[in-house]
Amino acid sequence: MSSHFNAEEFVLNQADQCVKCGLCLSQCPTYNATFNENESPRGRISLIQAVISKQLPADNKLLQHLDQCLLCQRCERICPSGVQYGRLMDTARQLLKPEIPTPRFKKMGLGLLTNSKRLNSLGTVLRIYRKSRLGTLLKYTPFLRNSKLMELTQFIPSATTYTKLKSYYSAQGNPRGEILLFSGCMGQNADSQTLLNSIKLVTQLGYAVRLPEQQVCCGALHQHSGEAEQAMQLAQKNLQAFDTDKAVAIIYTSSGCGAQLKNYIYLNWPHDDQQRQAQRFVDKIMDISEFLAGTDWEDRLQFTELNKTVVIHQPCSQRNALRLPNYASELLGRIPGLNIINLADNIPCCGAAGDYMLKYPEQAKTLRSNLLETIQSHPVDIITTTNVGCSLFLSAGIQDTPVQLLNPVSLLAQQLVQQLDSELTSTIAS
């Protein structure tokens, strides 16, 4: 993006591209839940045009219509005019930031994501809480039972899923190069098993794996909250942490992070060398499933039979933002005996949508219930998803069922014939 980027001009140009045809209406989860034009993509674009042009005041009612957008980008995929709706909304929120006071709880959360030491300390506390089963006691405490606190505890990962990862893992067999792994701010504490299983598969394919120690949060929640400056600061730190020249690829395991990492080329970099650095970074970024699907396995990976049914959930960030093919279906098809069910392409958002599940829990749970009802209309044993936020939110919706939920790479690793190398076995359930 040019250093002469003008946010207001970009928003108005994109908004003018919208011909208000209405094809987006059937795609929008919030419109279909309310049938309120202000809760549709074209309605929100009209509101943005009006407030930027000073025809409407940026009052709380208008701002809430914008805030309640899930940013699922389903509308963007089918827009005949090519409106970049996701970037339009992010930039509009940036422009309207002075009118939108950030709640204290959210400000603390965004700050926490940028401080790895505090985030890791919180992760340790939450694992102790989960392991102690204190939650069972609190669930039956009258004044806490229906509190916001108990709502949040649903999303705490199991203590048994935590693994302390090292910064480097050697390739198995004949080496083929080095991979850099983006773990993200939540990966180590909320999804370390997916990271570990990715390392397991990649190293057995002959690639060494390095986790750059200076990497930080991808900045997605900051970007979507209008905190453009913070998002750029995080992006700059990541560009400095990853040496793109020596790596075969940079892989990520959560599609929500991947969508933001790919977005680095669209940030308002002040210097051309930073723009070129962002381009080199983005050129190397790949989803773990994309990397595995595009790699020659030779005879390095073989899988045991699994006579179960798996439903593949594709997050909005994968289908609509990244627009990746369904690599999970291709990869899981290599497991003998596995019955694979792919959901229809028009399945709406699960309701997680970054911090949407925390800001609008009732709307989010309705979307989740609708999705799980569709999924469980099949005799399902396993659900796979490629985004950590979707995983945490969906897991909370099936916690009283025998259904297993995990990343596709974890299911592959679970069925891998070869055993985990001793270098990967330093599991800590603390």
pLDDT per residue of the chain (430 residues) written in tens, 0 to 9: 444 578 999 999 999 999 999 999 999 999 999 999 999 999 999 999 999 999 999 888 999 999 999 999 999 999 999 999 999 999 999 999 887 766 676 666 666 666 666 666 665 656 555 666 665 555 555 554 555 555 555 656 555 566 788 999 999 999 999 999 999 887 777 788 999 999 999 999 999 999 999 999 999 999 999 899 999 999 999 999 999 998 999 999 999 999 999 999 999 898 999 999 999 999 999 999 999 999 999 889 999 999 999 999 999 999 999 999 999 999 999 999 999 999 998 899 999 998 899 889 999 999 999 999 999 998 999 999 999 999 999 998 998 899 999 999 999 999 998 644 545 544 433 3
- 286 φ, ψ to 5°? -145, 145
State how far the Cα of 195 lies from the Cα of 254, in Å rounded to an integer.
10
Q: Between the CA atoms of 383, 388, 389 and 391, what dihedral angle is there, to the nearest 10 degrees?
A: 20
Kindly tell me the sign of the dihedral angle through the C-alpha atoms of 85, 244, 222, 98: negative
| Angle between the N-to-C axes of helices 272-284 and 228-241, in degrees from 0 to 180, rounded to the nearest 10 | 70
CB 264 within 8 A of CB 174: no
- Tokens 């098809």 map to which residue? 333
Q: Could you tell me the pTM of the whole model?
A: 0.87
**Coil vs helix vs strand at 274:** helix
Closest of 292, 285, 350 to residue 319, by C-alpha = 350
DSSP state of 416: B
In whole angstroms, give the CA distance from residue 264 to residue 60: 31
In the sheet that 382-384 helps form, which strands lie side by side, from edge to edge?
339-342, 309-312, 382-384, 404-406
Q: How big is the chain, counted in residues?
A: 430
Write the burial class of residue 151 (CB in 10 Å: 0-12 exposed, 13-18 middle, 19+ buried). Answer: middle
What tokens does 376 get? Answer: 């469980």
Which domains does the chain carry?
Answer: 7-99 (1.10.1060.10), 309-414 (3.40.50)
SS3 state of residue 400: coil
| 3-class secondary-structure state, position 411 | helix
**CA max distance for the chain:** 66
Element (H, E) at 391: helix 388-397
Give the E-state strand segments of 308-347 in sequence order: 309-312, 339-342
Exposure string (b/e) for 157-169, b if CB count within 10 Å is 16 or more?
bebebbbebeeeb
User: What gap in Å lies between CA 427 and CA 326, rounded to an integer?
Assistant: 31
Q: Give the pairing of strands 309-312 and 339-342.
A: parallel
272 touches 392 (CB < 8 A): no
C-alpha–C-alpha distance, residues 163 and 157, integer Å: 12
Q: Is 73:61 a contact under the CB 8 Å cutoff?
A: no
Distance CA 353, CA 370 (A): 15
268 neighbors 236 (Cβ within 8 angstroms): no
Runs of H (alpha helix) within 114-170: 116-132, 134-139, 142-145, 148-153
